[in-house]
Amino acid sequence: MKQLLACLGGGAGMWLAAAPWALGYHSTLMAASGATAALIWIAAAILVLAGTGIGRTALPWWVSAIVGLWAMATGLGVFGAVYPNEIVFGAIGAIVATFASQIEDNKKVAVHTKDGKTLVELSTMAFKNGRIEMRGKTFGTMPATMLVQPVYVWNLVGLLPLSLILRLPALLYVGWTEARSERRAAASS
């Protein structure tokens, strides 16, 4: 997921670099600001995509969020004129970077029965040989490789009722707050 968000950030950066010329801006300060924001966003995307060193931390994302806020500020008239393009792409960049900074890699996912017993615990998920491959444990102890065929992914779409789709943002928010609480509790102990 972080790689996708890094590509979005890099793409937004490339657009900010090209926008002053493509949209006919007459401000060299605006062009320089867009090019600087673009270079920082592209560098952050490369660090995240490389997945080593500083790219594994939240630092590139927080820098990208600050650059997004800067792009918004420049779009709001810091250089004497309002540039809606910078406002929109700055906001998108700041929101995407802030969201990405909260995603934790390599966390396990579990499905429990009504009485709280672990039914399936997933540790990795990948696309291999035209299907989704999930690795984990079943019933808490038995290692398993589970394969999801494309037809079942399609069938899943039919299982999702509108009421669940509408509640997904709230579920993501509750999950984020619970994960954050767990992280803080682990850090304090």
| pLDDT one digit per residue (tens) for the chain, 189 residues | 777 888 888 888 888 888 887 888 777 777 788 788 888 888 888 887 777 666 567 778 888 888 888 888 888 877 677 888 888 888 888 888 888 888 777 778 888 889 988 889 998 888 999 999 999 999 888 999 999 999 998 898 888 888 998 999 899 899 989 988 888 888 887
Q: Cβ of 86: how many Cβ atoms within 10 Å?
A: 28
Q: What angle do CA 170, 176, 181 make, to 5 degrees?
A: 130
Residue 128: predicted pLDDT:
92
* Dihedral angle, C-alpha 177, 148, 161, 101, nearest 10 °: 20
Query: Alpha-carbon distance 1 to 103, whole Å?
Result: 8
Cβ neighbours of residue 21 closer than 8 Å, sequence gap 6 or more:
31
Residue 54: predicted pLDDT:
66
> Could you tell me the CA-to-CA distances from 146 to 60, 100, 113, 120, 158 in Å, in that order?
34, 27, 18, 10, 21
Query: Alpha-carbon distance 91 to 74, whole Å?
Result: 12
φ/ψ (deg, to 5) at 121:
-125, 115
Residue 24: predicted pLDDT:
82
Q: Where do the structural domains in the chain lie, given as residue ranges?
A: 2-101, 106-148, 157-189
Residue 56: predicted pLDDT:
66
The CA-to-CA distance between both ends of the chain, in Å, stands at 29
Residue 55: predicted pLDDT:
59
